[in-house]
């Protein structure tokens, strides 16, 4: 049997936690819990960018829910560290059979939900079955190979119909979250989990507040309260931080580093991430159904200029970022070459094109302005339609009514979207779907990653989209705060270890 003991993640050791080259100057050392005198009764205010439309993590799309609810409020049998390591959570241990068909978890005893009810094996079985059997639940398809879920005492067994190399990873996300069977909580506005924080309040349009769960089964949170304040504008966030309104700013503009660090009260930390600045092409619509037009758009875009303008991050030329399995440098597939772009457009009979870029207004104008300029240089007029997030969800994500769309996809290991013709990317390639299915079925991690690499190259060579940059996690942290993660914080922000100085 392959045994996976509890992993203890050392902060900022793995390559995934190294600071990115986009940082200006030498980064200041991160504050540690031992460098300050913690105040266990403290309230910490953290600025976030994108507020969720509702709190129903089972049925509502968007990384804004994963970012704050998973780990802090909701938990699964297993979890993941910012460095992408899998570790036990509600399960104290687990085993995987050599054939990859049987997963056995030992459920912890004495775990309570926030409403005071005890976590039972029946809750686990019910939760996983509900996700697997309800297609409208987010990530339901991630449990498609799970044939049966049974409990014998505290032992939970998942039996698979076929090996699934992604199952453990999937169980660290929405697919694996454990809820209370029969719970009547309105998940759109409230929450009842097992995590170190409970949902205290939600002031829509302003903030979400967590309070420490005093009955938590593990080590209790280091602060009494965390307030997530939603403020999309970076200048307003900067002003708020300098006025003492915030203890930390996530999604910060690295170009404002000098301004926020000038007084010595804040330090900007750049961490690796799986954020993918993705320019989606609606290949179901002319002229984007012509691969030459898609390639021309890609070769017209100066990605180095985008990274420079953002002040952080690295270039990316394919669907898989460096932190994820299957990464390969695909910069040679569609290098920046405006002359080649103009020739491709002429060959396709697509000169003087006019296209619309639909994007969420909270992303600002830096990327869209560069795209407008770059595409204008090759004869493409780009109209920018900046919309509110619910509008983007309805028009682009659901109805696929768009030409081009820019989205910062923060999710790790989300290549399955390129193997799903129904996803808003509109990409449909049977060979990619076959390679992805073979990767899923592999019981060898190296072989599974190699199959993903093959599939990712095809996606890039089909010019299914463009990948403008691999973003950095840009976090501004006050000198009185320690323990705040700096890796992949736009995807997950576990705040249980955050401490605030009593001074």
- Structure confidence at residue 16 (pLDDT): 26
What per-residue confidence (pLDDT) applies to 387?
A: 96
Q: Are 312 and 270 in contact (CB under 8 A)?
A: yes
Lowest mean pLDDT among 31-40, 75-84, 203-212: 31-40
What pLDDT is stored for residue 7 in this prediction? 25
Position 33 scores a pLDDT of 45
For 26, the token pair is: 């030498």
pLDDT of amino acid 249: 98
Task: Write down the residue that tokens 């509702």 correspond to.
Answer: 54
- Residue 364 confidence (pLDDT): 84
* 32 pLDDT higher than 60: no
> For position 15, what pLDDT does the model report?
25
Distance separating alpha carbons of residues 468 and 303, to the nearest angstrom: 6
Examine the pLDDT at 18 and tell me if it is beyond 90: no
CB atoms < 10 A from the CB of 477, how many? 28
Q: What is the pTM of this model?
A: 0.81
Q: How far is residue 202's CA from residue 208's CA, in Å, rounded to a whole number?
A: 4
**Alpha-carbon span 414 to 467, nearest angstrom:** 14
What's the pLDDT tens digit per position in 400-451?
Answer: 999 999 999 988 899 999 999 999 999 999 999 999 999 999 989 899 999 9
Containing 448, the helix (H) or strand (E) segment is helix 445-461
How does pLDDT run across 247-280, given as a tens digit for each residue? 999 999 999 999 999 989 999 999 999 999 999 9
Which pLDDT score, from 0 to 100, does residue 294 have? 98
Q: Please write down the HEC assignment for all residues of 64-108.
A: HHHHHHECCCECECEEECCCCCEEECCEEEEEECCCCCEEEEEEC
Residues 6+ apart with CB under 8 A from 229: 45, 46, 47, 48, 206, 207, 240, 245, 246
DSSP states of 325-366: TT----TTTS---HHHHHHHHHHTT-TTEEEEEEEEGGG-SH
Rounded Cα gap, residues 310 and 337, in angstroms: 21
- Rounded to an integer, the average pLDDT of 124-136 is 97
Eight-class DSSP state of 71 = T
* Number of residues written out for the chain: 503
Judge contact between 117 and 181, C-beta under 8 A: no
The pair of three-digit structure tokens given for residue 263, joined into one six-digit string: 């007084």
In this model, does residue 477 exceed pLDDT 60? yes
Measured CA to CA, the distance from residue 486 to residue 490 in angstroms comes to: 10
Burial of 148 (0-12, 13-18, 19+ CB in 10 A): exposed
Enclosing H/E stretch for 469 = strand 465-470
Using alpha carbons, select from 62, 121, 14, 64 the residue that is nearest to residue 393.
Answer: 62
Spatial contact of 88 and 94, defined as CB atoms under 8 Å apart? yes
Please check the confidence at residue 204 and state whether its pLDDT lies above 80: yes
pLDDT at 4 exceeding the cut of 70: no
Question: Are the C-beta atoms of residues 154 and 109 closer than 8 Å to each other?
Answer: yes
Instruction: Report the alpha-carbon distance of residue 66 to residue 200 in Å, rounded.
Output: 17
DSSP class of 98: T
- Dihedral (CA of 278, 282, 288, 291) sign: positive
The set of residues, in sequence order, having a beta carbon less than 8 Å from that of 343 and lying 6+ positions away, is none
Give CA–CA dist 374/325, Å, rounded.
31
Q: According to the model, what pLDDT value does residue 363 have?
A: 87
Average pLDDT of the residues of the chain: 91
Please name the residue that has the structure tokens 């991690």. 445
pLDDT surpassing 50 at residue 483: yes
* Cross-strand pairs, 404: 281, 357
Of the chain, the percentage scoring pLDDT greater than 90 comes to: 87
**pLDDT on residue 30:** 41
Whether 331 has a pLDDT exceeding 90, the answer reads yes
End-to-end Cα spacing for the chain: 51
**What are the helix (H) ranges across 180-316?**
234-242, 257-261, 291-300, 303-310
Cβ burial 437-462 (10 Å sphere, 16+ → b, else e): ebbbbbeeeeebbbbbbbbbbebbeb
pLDDT tens readout for residues 335-380: 999 999 999 999 999 988 999 999 999 888 999 999 999 999 999 9
Q: pLDDT at position 84, please?
A: 83
Q: Which of 140, 65, 70, 46 is nearest to 389 (CA)?
A: 65
- Mean pLDDT for the stretch of residues 65-69: 96
Check whether 3 has a pLDDT greater than 80.
no
In the structure, what pLDDT confidence band is assigned to residue 2 with cuts at 50, 70 and 90?
very low
């Amino acid at each position: 049997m392959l045994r996976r003991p509890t992993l203890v993640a050392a902060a900022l050791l793995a390559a995934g936690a190294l600071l990115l080259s986009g940082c200006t100057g030498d980064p200041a050392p991160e504050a540690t819990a031992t460098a300050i005198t913690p105040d266990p009764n403290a309230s910490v205010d953290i600025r976030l960018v994108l507020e969720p439309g509702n709190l129903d993590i089972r049925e509502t799309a968007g990384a804004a829910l994963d970012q704050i609810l998973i780990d802090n409020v909701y938990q699964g049998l297993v979890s993941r560290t910012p460095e992408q390591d899998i570790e036990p959570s509600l399960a104290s241990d687990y085993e995987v059979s050599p054939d990859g068909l049987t997963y056995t978890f030992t459920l912890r005893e004495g775990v309570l939900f926030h409403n005071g009810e005890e976590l039972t094996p029946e809750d686990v079985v019910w939760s996983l079955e509900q996700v697997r059997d309800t297609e409208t639940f987010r990530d339901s398809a991630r449990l498609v190979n799970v044939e049966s879920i049974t409990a014998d005492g505290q032992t939970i067994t998942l039996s698979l119909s076929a090996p699934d190399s992604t199952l453990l990873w999937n169980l660290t996300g929405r697919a694996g979250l454990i809820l209370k069977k029969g719970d009547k909580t309105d998940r759109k506005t409230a929450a009842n989990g097992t995590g170190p924080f409970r949902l205290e309040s939600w002031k829509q349009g302003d903030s979400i507040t967590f309070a420490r769960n005093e009955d938590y089964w593990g080590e209790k949170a280091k602060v009494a309260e965390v307030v997530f304040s939603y403020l999309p504008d970076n200048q307003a966030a900067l002003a708020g931080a300098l006025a003492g309104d915030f203890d930390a700013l996530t999604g910060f503009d690295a170009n404002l580093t000098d301004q926020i660090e000038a007084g010595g009260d804040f330090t900007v930390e750049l961490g690796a991430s799986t954020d993918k600045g993705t320019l989606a092409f609606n290949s179901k619509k002319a002229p984007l159904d012509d691969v030459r037009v898609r390639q021309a758009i890609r070769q017209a875009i100066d990605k180095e200029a985008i990274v420079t303008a953002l002040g952080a991050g690295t270039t990316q030329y394919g669907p898989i970022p460096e932190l994820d399995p299957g990464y390969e440098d695909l910069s040679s597939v569609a290098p920046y070459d405006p002359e080649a772009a103009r020739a491709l457009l002429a060959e396709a009979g697509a000169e003087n094109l006019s296209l619309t870029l639909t994007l969420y207004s909270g992303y600002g104008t830096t990327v869209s302005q560069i795209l407008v300029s770059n595409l204008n240089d090759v004869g493409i007029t780009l109209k920018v339609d900046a919309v509110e997030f619910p509008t983007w969800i309805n028009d682009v994500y659901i109805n696929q009514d768009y030409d081009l769309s820019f989205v910062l996809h923060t999710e790790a290991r989300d290549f399955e979207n390129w193997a799903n013709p129904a996803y808003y990317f509109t990409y449909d390639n049977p060979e990619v779907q076959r390679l992805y299915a073979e990767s899923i079925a592999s019981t060898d991690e190296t072989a599974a990653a190699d199959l993903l690499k093959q599939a990712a190259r095809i996606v890039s060579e089909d010019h299914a989209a463009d990948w403008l940059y691999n973003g950095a996690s840009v976090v501004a942290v006050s000198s009185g705060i320690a323990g705040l993660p700096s890796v992949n914080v736009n995807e997950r922000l576990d705040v249980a270890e955050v401490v605030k100085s009593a001074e």
